[in-house]
Structure 1
Amino acid sequence: MSVTQFYDTPQGRRIAYHKSGSAGPTIVFLGGLKSDMEGTKAVHLEAWAKARGQAFLRFDYSGHGESSGRFEEGCIGDWHEDTLAAVAALTQGPLVVVGSSMGGWQALLLAKAIPERIAGMVTIAAAPDFTEDSYWAGFSEAQKAALEQDGQVELPSDYMDPYIVTKRMIEDGRKRLLLREALTLPFPTRFLQGTADEAVRSEVAYRLLDHAEGADIQLLMVKNKDHRFSDEDCLALIEQKVEEVISASVIE
Structure 2
Amino acid sequence: MSDSKFIDTPEGRRIAYHKTEGAGPCVVFLGGLKSDMMGTKAVYLEDWARAEGRAFLRFDYSGHGESSGNFAEGCIGDWHEDTLAAVGALTEGPLVVVGSSMGGWQALLLARQRPERIAGLVGIAAAPDFTEDGYWANFTEAQKQTLAEVGQVELPSDYMEPYVITRRMIEDGRNRLVLRDPLTLPFPVRLLQGTADTAVSTATAVRLLEHAQSPDMHLTLVKDADHRFSDTHCLALIVQAIKEVSAQ
TM-score computed with the length of structure 2 as normaliser: 0.99
Deviation at 1:94? Answer: 0.3
1:82 aligns to what? 82
Q: How does 1:8-87 map to 2 (within 5 A)?
A: 8-87=8-87
2:195 corresponds to: 195
Maintained 8 Å contact 1:190/1:241: yes
Query: Which residue identity is paired with 1:31?
Result: G
The 2-side partners of 1:163 and 1:179 are apart by: 23
Between the aligned partners of 2:217 and 2:244, the Cα distance in structure 1 is 12
What is the RMSD of the two structures over their aligned residues, measured on CA atoms?
0.5
| Amino acid across the alignment from 1:32 | G
Aligned to 1:148: 148
2:116 match: 116
Match of 1:167 in 2: 167
**SS, match of residue 239 in structure 1:** helix
- Answer whether contact 1:21 1:49 (CA < 8 A) is retained: no
The answer for unaligned runs of 5 or more in structure 1 is none
Amino acid at match of 2:247: S
User: Distance between the aligned counterparts of 2:134 and 2:121, measured in 1?
Assistant: 24
**Match of 2:164, SS?**
strand
The CA distance in 1 between the partners of 2:112 and 2:134, in whole Å, is 22
CA distance in 1, matches of 2:83, 2:157: 25
Instruction: Give runs of ≥4 in structure 1 deviating > 2 Å.
Output: none
TM-score w.r.t. structure 1 length?
A: 0.98
Identity %: 73
Q: For residue 214 of structure 1, report the CA deviation from its aligned partner.
A: 1.1
Distance in 1, Cα, partners of 2:75 & 2:144: 18
* TM-superposed deviation, 1:22: 2.1
2:55 match: secondary structure: strand
Matched residue type, 1:247: A
1:188-229 C-alpha deviation (Å, 9 max, x unpaired): 100000011110000000000000001101101111101000
The reply to whether residue 221 of structure 1 matches residue 214 of structure 2 is: no
CA contact (8 A) 1:98 1:107 kept: yes
CA deviation string 1:56-85 (max 9, x = no partner) = 000000000000000000000000000000
Contact 1:23–1:55 under 8 Å retained in 2? yes
| Equivalent residues of 2:99, 2:126 under 8 A apart | yes
Deviation at 1:165, TM superposition (A): 0.2
Q: Deviations over 1:157-193 (max 9, x none)?
A: 0111012100000000000000000000110100000
What code does the residue aligned with 2:112 have? K
